Amino acid sequence: MNDASAGVSVEYGVLVRNAIKTYGVGSRKSIILENLNMTVKKGSIYGLLGASGCGKTTLLSCLVGRRSLNSGDVQVLGHEPGSPESGIPGPRIGYMPQELALYGHFTIRETLIYFGRIYNLRTEFVNSQVEFLSKLLDLPASDRYVGTLSGGQQRRMSFAAALFHEPELLILDEPTVGVDPVLRHSIWEHLIRQSVEHGRTVIVTTHYIEEARQANTIGMMRSGRLLTEESPENLLRDYNLPSLENVFLKLCMKDEGKNEIQQQPPALGHDNMAFDQSASQSDVSEVGIDGRYTRNDQRSPTSPVDFSAITQFDSAMNNNNESPAKVSSSPVINFASKRSRNPFRMTLPSRHRLSALILKNYLLIFRNLGILGFLYFLPAFQAAVFNVTLGHEPFGLRMGIVNDELNPSEGRVCNYTTECTYSMLSCRYLRFLKDNIIQIPFDNYSEALEAGKRNDVWGVIHFGHNFTEEFEIRRESGDSATYDTILRSQINVRMDSTNQQIDVFIEKWLIEGFGDFFRDLMKSCGHEPDASNFPLEFMDPVYGQKDTPYTEFMAPGLIISIIYFMAVSLTAGAFVAERKQGLLDRSLVAGVQMVEILMGYLVNQLSVMVGQIALVFIIMLWFFAVPCHGSMVLAILITFLQGLVGMCFGLLIATVCENEISALSLSMASFLPLVVTSGIAWPIEGMSFYLRTISYSMPMTYPIESLRCIFSKGWGLSEVDVYAGFGISIIWILGLLIGCLIVVRFRKYSS
Ligand SMILES: Nc1ncnc2c1ncn2[C@@H]1O[C@H](COP(=O)(O)OP(=O)(O)OP(=O)(O)O)[C@@H](O)[C@H]1O
């Protein structure tokens, strides 16, 4: 850097040259800043005036490094905001955004302590600042929650947060809105003291035009351009008008090609300017009556200010000989100091900022104990609901029975014997049906079928007229039985097959019932009961048990998906909510890095997740007795890793999405595809080859299989089915974290 450029850096707090900023693209593109130039001398107060929507906030957000220009240059305290050497964002700046940007659940003291931690300030300094600013800004008791303060008190609180660490540059977006004149006076007094006694630079936007008389320089902004940039007294003198409002109106008219206006004060609110009627001359004269800070160059000798500073400042201001209506276009920005930013440059997270963020997150959680309880117990509740509702055998299933063997003249009574006799075998068979089936007798087949169509019964079991006789003939004929005999000795079943699960259960029970019935018949005749069994026998399983309950099959998938999706939604929700209503903008301007914010969330969510996993395991394994034949440590570890994958995915959603709705939509959209492709509800083996490949690369598929192997087979990490789950979880965690880092490097976040 050459000497001249170094001089420029030292003398000017803020320089903006040829700034162009647009929003939107294509036909929706609008130019917000149009070749804007701005020059703010160090140690001065700069009042930025302009109608609502002219681009003041946009300009300030570019100064604090929260937005980037499309073209043009910005230099703040000698450097480009966001460059490593600038310290901006960081403690050199105090920023008061237009919106509250404070947590309603924090007290005044807690809010200021939070910033104290972010800036790594000493406790004594923090305490003295809390006391000093409370007095200065007439804040309520410091244990009052910010959310319970009035609008004006909240703005003063917001102002206090910006002043708190006594930064070199204060950027204040409408600090005096909703503040009564006396307090406004003391706020301006404080700002002037900051600039004069401590050489701090202040940029302040206000709708109260006349209060800006107390600034050293006024920038009048219109439609993204500065119409003028001058000291207030020069403006009044050069335009020979009684008030700054008149000057502004004249400049606006001139800007529109009208040269002359009448000398009377214009109507308030002209030119779409939100001129505040309460902030007219009377407010300013209050300042004047005080006699201390009416104008920098008219300060009373009795004022407790540093006169040498005033002299230096005034001489600096007087050196500016530009014509009033001409915006300064020099000095030029020292381009040598402007370095291109490397989006991949990583700085290590700072311990004090990280601890401030973690403590803040815990405090927020504990302020909402109801929500905390809900967060801890929700997964366990979901697991309990799953266990009590899923996997149980259905019962009370009504089946219509049409038994044409029964004699209507004998009242269709179903008698049967347990002896070795072929008599009323239909009735003997029905006795072996499981109790889960309720038998509803019908006189004829068509009636039963009608009942089936009306949903009164799940199906119809029909025995023919000579069922027993034909059954006996078939038995005796063996392989030479006729087709007619075979048909007449059959039990015919017609099912309502719309419910596949019920269909399968009833079919299974009817077949099992027949097996039991026939064994009973054989036994009663002294034959080997299993003689006529279907010659296929399922022996004891290698793993698991015969008829493994569905809950046991589902449990690993359920545990992992509950923990995974809770982590996704909580992490995404918490972070997006923070951006919407919290301190995010302010924290970022204070120098907090997105990586630190993400890490803070990871730590907080981790502690919630540990509790959730513990409760889910207690419910599933202890309360509902889902067996775990392997290592419990491994089972918990794979679940924990899956929670981490969920958290990282939640973070990615949060970094990508603008608001809660899109974050919620994205997490919900991911839910079903992940569940169905991960083999929770249906075997992956049923998918096509290509889909199966995709399914195996999904974050939950291998881990679910892994947990199933640990639970049911008692396998350990030496088995590929187990370690594959761990491996893929780690790969996903790393991949998602890298994705988050890339997104946060390229994006600017705003509340
Ligand atoms: N993120 C955004 N996307 C699109 N347009 C935006 C965005 N932010 C602001 N604008 C538009 O840019 C223009 C300037 O907004 P800005 O907030 O900078 O104005 P302002 O001068 O600060 O207004 P006010 O005094 O009312 O706060 C407005 O028309 C606004 O609607």
Least confident of 220-229, 276-285, 677-686, 713-722: 276-285
Can you tell me the mean pLDDT for 554-560?
93
Let me know: does 213 contact 295? Beta carbons within 8 Å.
Answer: yes
The top-level CATH class assigned to 42-68+79-92+167-328 is alpha beta
Tell me which long-range contacts 452-457 makes (C-beta under 8 A, separation of at least 24).
452/400, 452/494, 452/496, 455/496, 456/398, 456/400, 457/398, 457/399, 457/400, 457/496
Residue with the smallest CA separation from ligand 1 atom 13 is 53
Contacts of 113 (CB under 8 A, 6+ apart): 126, 130
Q: Is 748 in the pocket of ligand 1 (CB under 6 A)?
A: no
The gap from C-alpha 402 to its chain's centroid, in whole angstroms, comes to 60
How far, in Å, is the centroid of ligand 1 from the Cα of 9?
A: 29
Q: Is 206 in the pocket of ligand 1 (CB under 6 A)?
A: no
Residue with more model confidence, 330 or 441: 441
Residue environment code for 346-375, b if the CB has 16+ CB neighbours within 10 A, otherwise e: eeebeeebbebbbbbbebbbebeeeebeeb
Q: Is 53 in the pocket of ligand 1 (CB under 6 A)?
A: yes
Q: Is 32 in the pocket of ligand 1 (CB under 6 A)?
A: yes
Least confident of 2-11, 105-114, 648-657: 2-11
pLDDT digits (tens, 9 = 90+) for 120-143: 999 999 999 999 999 988 899 999
pLDDT for position 211? 86
Task: Supply the DSSP string of 212-273, one letter for each residue.
Answer: GGGSSEEEEEETTEEEEEE-HHHHHHHHT-SSHHHHHHHHHHHHTT-----SSPPPTTGGG-
How far, in Å, is the centroid of ligand 1 from the Cα of 20?
A: 14
- Evaluate if residue 481 carries a pLDDT over 90: yes
pLDDT for position 261? 45
pLDDT for position 748? 61
The gap from C-alpha 411 to its chain's centroid, in whole angstroms, comes to 70
Let me know: does 65 contact 88? Beta carbons within 8 Å.
Answer: yes
Ligand 1 site-directed mutation target among 54, 207, 271, most atoms within 8 Å of CB: 54
- Evaluate if residue 483 carries a pLDDT over 70: yes
What distance in Å separates the CA atoms of residue 711 and residue 631, rounded to the nearest whole number?
Answer: 8
The number of the ligand 1 atom at minimal distance from the alpha carbon of 54 is 21
How far, in Å, is the centroid of ligand 1 from the Cα of 190?
A: 29
pLDDT for position 4? 43
Tokens for 479?
């392989």
Residue environment code for 509-546, b if the CB has 16+ CB neighbours within 10 A, otherwise e: bbeebeebbbbbbbeeeeeebeeeeeeeeeeeeeebee
Can you tell me the mean pLDDT for 497-517?
95
- Evaluate if residue 110 carries a pLDDT over 90: yes
Least confident of 193-197, 408-412, 520-524: 408-412
pLDDT for position 263? 45
pLDDT digits (tens, 9 = 90+) for 225-247: 999 999 999 999 999 988 898 99
Can you tell me the mean pLDDT for 660-675?
88
Ligand 1 site-directed mutation target among 20, 22, 23, most atoms within 8 Å of CB: 23
- Evaluate if residue 10 carries a pLDDT over 60: no
- Evaluate if residue 608 carries a pLDDT over 50: yes
Residue with the smallest CA separation from ligand 1 atom 28 is 53
The number of the ligand 1 atom at minimal distance from the alpha carbon of 24 is 4
The number of the ligand 1 atom at minimal distance from the alpha carbon of 274 is 25
* Residue range(s) in the chain whose domain bears CATH number 3.40.190: 397-524
How far, in Å, is the centroid of ligand 1 from the Cα of 106?
A: 29
Residue with the smallest CA separation from ligand 1 atom 1 is 23
Q: Is 52 in the pocket of ligand 1 (CB under 6 A)?
A: yes
pLDDT band at 284 (very low <50, low <70, confident <90, very high): very low
pLDDT for position 617? 97
How far, in Å, is the centroid of ligand 1 from the Cα of 324?
A: 27
What distance in Å separates the CA atoms of residue 204 and residue 94, rounded to the nearest whole number?
Answer: 11
What distance in Å separates the CA atoms of residue 639 and residue 703, rounded to the nearest whole number?
Answer: 8
What distance in Å separates the CA atoms of residue 460 and residue 458, rounded to the nearest whole number?
Answer: 7
pLDDT for position 488? 95
Ligand 1 site-directed mutation target among 33, 52, 58, 64, most atoms within 8 Å of CB: 58
Q: Is 58 in the pocket of ligand 1 (CB under 6 A)?
A: yes
How far, in Å, is the centroid of ligand 1 from the Cα of 477?
A: 94
- Evaluate if residue 326 carries a pLDDT over 90: no
Topology of the domain comprising 397-524: D-Maltodextrin-Binding Protein; domain 2 (3.40.190)
Residue with the smallest CA separation from ligand 1 atom 8 is 58
Q: Is 272 in the pocket of ligand 1 (CB under 6 A)?
A: no
- Evaluate if residue 333 carries a pLDDT over 80: no
0.80 cut: is pTM over it?
no
Q: Is 98 in the pocket of ligand 1 (CB under 6 A)?
A: yes
Residue with more model confidence, 339 or 44: 44
Residue with the smallest CA separation from ligand 1 atom 9 is 58
- Evaluate if residue 320 carries a pLDDT over 80: no
The number of the ligand 1 atom at minimal distance from the alpha carbon of 224 is 14
pLDDT for position 640? 96
Q: Is 54 in the pocket of ligand 1 (CB under 6 A)?
A: yes
State the ipTM, two decimals: 0.96
Residue with more model confidence, 270 or 638: 638
Residue with the smallest CA separation from ligand 1 atom 6 is 23
Can you tell me the mean pLDDT for 712-718?
95
Residue with the smallest CA separation from ligand 1 atom 11 is 53
Quote the DSSP letter at residue 547: T
> Average model confidence (pLDDT) for the chain?
84
pLDDT digits (tens, 9 = 90+) for 45-67: 999 998 888 999 999 999 998 88
- Evaluate if residue 294 carries a pLDDT over 50: no
pLDDT for position 460? 98
How far, in Å, is the centroid of ligand 1 from the Cα of 54?
A: 7
Residue with the smallest CA separation from ligand 1 atom 20 is 53
pLDDT band at 628 (very low <50, low <70, confident <90, very high): very high
Ligand 1 site-directed mutation target among 21, 48, 56, most atoms within 8 Å of CB: 56
Q: Is 57 in the pocket of ligand 1 (CB under 6 A)?
A: yes
pLDDT for position 569? 87
Can you tell me the mean pLDDT for 432-446?
96
Q: Is 48 in the pocket of ligand 1 (CB under 6 A)?
A: no
Let me know: does 33 contact 61? Beta carbons within 8 Å.
Answer: no
How far, in Å, is the centroid of ligand 1 from the Cα of 275?
A: 18
3-state secondary structure of 396: coil
* Residue range(s) in the chain whose domain bears CATH number 3.40.50.300: 42-68+79-92+167-328
pLDDT band at 304 (very low <50, low <70, confident <90, very high): very low
Q: Is 219 in the pocket of ligand 1 (CB under 6 A)?
A: no
What distance in Å separates the CA atoms of residue 657 and residue 225, rounded to the nearest whole number?
Answer: 32
What distance in Å separates the CA atoms of residue 215 and residue 217, rounded to the nearest whole number?
Answer: 5
How far, in Å, is the centroid of ligand 1 from the Cα of 55?
A: 6
Residue with the smallest CA separation from ligand 1 atom 31 is 53
Quote the DSSP letter at residue 31: E
pLDDT band at 746 (very low <50, low <70, confident <90, very high): confident
The number of the ligand 1 atom at minimal distance from the alpha carbon of 59 is 18
- Residue 229, beta-bridge partner list: 219
